[in-house]
Amino acid sequence: MKRRETMFLKIKPVIFSDKPKVMKNFITPILFLVLNSCVAQDSTPYGLMVEFLRSPEFIELREVQPDFSWIVPAGCEKQTAYQIQAASSKNLLNQNSPNYWDSGKITNNQSINIEYEGEPLLGNSTYYWRVKIWDANDNSSKYSVIQQFKTGSLNNYTTTSNSFLVEHRTPVLIKEKSKGHYFVDFGKDAFGTIVLDIQPTKKETIIIHLGEKISKPFQLDDSPEGSIRYQKLKLKVDPGQSKYTLALPSDKRNTNIKAVLLPDSIGVITPFRYCELENVNFEFDADNISHQAVSYFFDDNESYFTCSDTVLNRVWEMCKYSMKATSFCGIYVDGDRERIPYEADAFINQLGHYCTDREYSMARLTNDYFMEKPTWPTEWILFTPLLFYYDYLYTGNTEAIKYYWEKLKYKTLTDLAREDGLINTSKENQTEELIVNLGFKDPTMRIRDIVDWPPAQKDTGWELATEEGERDGYEFKEINTVVNAFHYYSIKLMAGMARAIGHEEDAHFYEVRSKKVKTAFNDRLLDPAKGYYIDGEGSTHSSLHANMFALAFGLAPEKHMKSIVKFIKSRGMACSVYGSQFLLDGLYLAGESEYAFELMTALHDRSWWNMIASGSTISMEAWDMKYKPNSDWNHAWGAAPANIIPRHLWGIQPTLPGFEKCIIKPQMSQLTSSKIKVPTIRGSIFGEYKKDENKGTFTIEIPGNMGTKFNCSSLHYKEVRLNGRQINVSNGLILLSSGGNKLEFFY
């Protein structure tokens, strides 16, 4: 069995620039990715990955038996066999003389997670591999392009860390406010520092201001609210030096023992969009300054979305960009204030990341982290099985589940269950043994229910809490509805994971247990007179949260669905940016796409548009600063639409792990057109939608080796045509082939 550890590789960052003059001089990693992922004109496999890395030549693998994956082109339709060759040089492969591994023809349709089975790899060495495949007619493809990978110190630990990207972004605007005083706008907030390429005429000191927010046009806000960043620094320049990288002071709070530290090669960075420079007594323009921005390995070209609604386009752009901008630590963190991973933040980050880039190492590294360093909220502990399950669902890989299985069992909090299956998380019910088994180092600490964040003043003594908070007046009880909704969902997913790793006895246990919990949940926590859920056993109050989590996790009985949805819709956006993930999940699952669309495109102060209107280009920690006075402007847990749009509005989701099979169930609401590209480990799914008075048309392009069905149950139509031919639809499902599919629905 492969061993795993939480680790951060101190990698030299991959550096590239957006300046045209630099782009001409060398091929950047992003360009390499584009070349490596070009769709072949025939059935040649492409999009090669080693250990989930698209460019493994930048990483030192520590895995003795790395996993290989590739994309099967639409031209092949269905792979029936493959052959992998690996060698210590390209020439050996070109000569068809692999000296490390020649699998021969393997009759198997699997194109992901193929474990290396050749001669033992040596540490600190470079290798090359390629693959060819056979289709359903036993026709062989050409070999793929050759991909390089290298090993480091091999100790059988699974490599999950990728490299960092350092971009040199040029300004979108420079304004000279007065002689020697310049205002610079880089267009988007990003983590990094300033690089100057200047020609000083004398020794002097430049005053440099960095910040995320302006107080008025061309004026940096030097005293922003909460955790919005601003810094004033001095830089001494000399005629004998032309290039300067601004050294930033570290922040004690986000570089303490609890925070995730950046590799030494990155140095100190801060988030900023704007810069002001004073005392500039030399020629200065856009060529003299750049924003050296840091992010985790990210390919902007792996996804896109556009539609007929301009607000939703802006929301998507911000939320997708948030996935890249907040990845600067190489692990999911809660923004810049603390730089600490939290399970809830990571879950929303994980889903958004998987929907916007073909990148899985960051999420997997974060999951490893939580097994050693959990956080205090009860529901955050219960997120852990969700994190591992959705990684398995999107990658098809079970290694992490196998390795952590026994520890994952504790994360369901089944130890806190009473006879009917519902869990009681009161302090008296928690033992030191459980706390240690959960991964905490201090056996005296206790987990606490959170429901949503921030809390109201009535719930806590926290001086920054608002009067109402984000819990919709939630009434806490020993048996809490939200907590038990999470408990149900976690054990339901555990049953599926147990079966995937061959633990049939555990699978049976969790299947039986989840049914028991669901029965008790609805018997004890659903008020039959009201027709919707109360906050907990013995409560007289019903909140949005008690109902939206039950709806999102599949607990709501069909006979009470209408009353539950009606109550949810009566509460509006009475939850935080975090809670909105599950509100939207539940609404789309219930077929309430119109209302979900209204929430995503709303213009009031509890909306994504308000984040944009406030001036942020990354999703914020709260809907508005007044709802959380210490908020930051770089918090990925506020970016739910990055996954909601692909997963629900377009309805593209895996139905078998690793996208072996997937479903497309669009709920377009009032949109009249849309285009989307969704990355998967098996290749990209492309979609285009157009609607007029007479029909709605979907054009869907599917990669090979992926079984795909189109669910049209939410569409209204009299006639359906697939590629120009009228078809009969059974159970609302239409089987799509690889390549292009044109669906026309006539009203």
Q: What is the mean pLDDT of residues 91-106?
A: 98
- For 271-310, the pLDDT digits (tens) are 999 999 999 999 999 999 999 999 999 999 999 999 999 9
Per-residue model confidence (pLDDT) at position 466: 74
Going through 250-355 in order, the beta strands assigned E by DSSP cover 270-278, 289-296, 304-307
Closest alpha carbon to 151 in 123, 129, 130: 123
Lowest mean per-residue pLDDT among 33-37, 41-45, 82-86, 346-350: 33-37
- For 449-503, the pLDDT digits (tens) are 999 999 987 777 667 677 779 999 999 999 999 999 999 999 999 999 999 999 9
Cα 528 → chain centroid: 38
Per-residue model confidence (pLDDT) at position 4: 36
Give dist(CA 704, CA 680) in Å, integer: 12
Q: What percent of the chain has pLDDT over 90?
A: 90
Identity of the amino acid at 290: S
Q: What is the mean pLDDT of residues 709-715?
A: 95
Give dist(CA 152, CA 609) in Å, integer: 46
Per-residue model confidence (pLDDT) at position 459: 73
**pLDDT beyond 50 at 22:** no
Decide: helix, strand or coil at residue 58: helix
Q: What is the mean pLDDT of residues 229-234?
A: 98
Per-residue model confidence (pLDDT) at position 154: 87
Q: Are 454 and 468 in contact (CB under 8 A)?
A: no
Give dist(CA 318, CA 634) in Å, integer: 11
Residue 650 sits at the vertex; the CA angle it makes with 708 and 587, to the nearest 5 degrees, is 115
The CA dihedral of 50, 56, 59, 63, to the nearest 10 degrees, is 20
Taking each helix axis as running N to C, give the angle between helix 310-325 and helix 343-356, from 0 to 180 degrees, rounded to the nearest 10.
110
**pLDDT beyond 90 at 558:** yes
Q: What count of other Cβ atoms lies within 10 Å of the Cβ of residue 568?
A: 25
Residue 682 sits at the vertex; the CA angle it makes with 677 and 685, to the nearest 5 degrees, is 20
* Helix, strand, coil share of the chain (percent; to 5): 30, 25, 45
Lowest mean per-residue pLDDT among 260-264, 423-427, 508-512, 567-571: 260-264
Residues ≥6 apart with Cβ < 8 Å to 587: 551, 565, 568, 593, 595, 596, 599
Per-residue model confidence (pLDDT) at position 157: 66
Per-residue model confidence (pLDDT) at position 38: 39
Identity of the amino acid at 724: G
Decide: helix, strand or coil at residue 486: helix
Q: Are 525 and 536 in contact (CB under 8 A)?
A: yes
- For 594-613, the pLDDT digits (tens) are 999 999 999 999 999 999 99
Domains of the chain, earliest start first: 14-162 (2.60.40.10), 165-296 (2.60.120.260), 300-649 (1.50.10.10), 657-746 (2.60.420.10)
Place of tokens 């493959």: 82
Better pLDDT: 464 or 590: 590
Average pLDDT of the residues of the chain: 93
Place of tokens 């040089």: 89
Q: Are 139 and 43 in contact (CB under 8 A)?
A: yes
Q: What is the mean pLDDT of residues 403-423?
A: 97
Identity of the amino acid at 689: Y
Per-residue model confidence (pLDDT) at position 19: 39
First and final C-alpha spacing in the chain:
56
**pLDDT beyond 90 at 174:** yes
Give dist(CA 84, CA 76) in Å, integer: 17
**pLDDT beyond 90 at 156:** no
Residues ≥6 apart with Cβ < 8 Å to 73: 39, 40, 42, 43, 44, 45, 46, 683, 703, 704
Per-residue model confidence (pLDDT) at position 159: 62
Residues recorded for the chain: 747
Q: What is the mean pLDDT of residues 730-743?
A: 95
- For 60-74, the pLDDT digits (tens) are 998 899 999 999 999
Per-residue model confidence (pLDDT) at position 161: 87
Better pLDDT: 128 or 38: 128
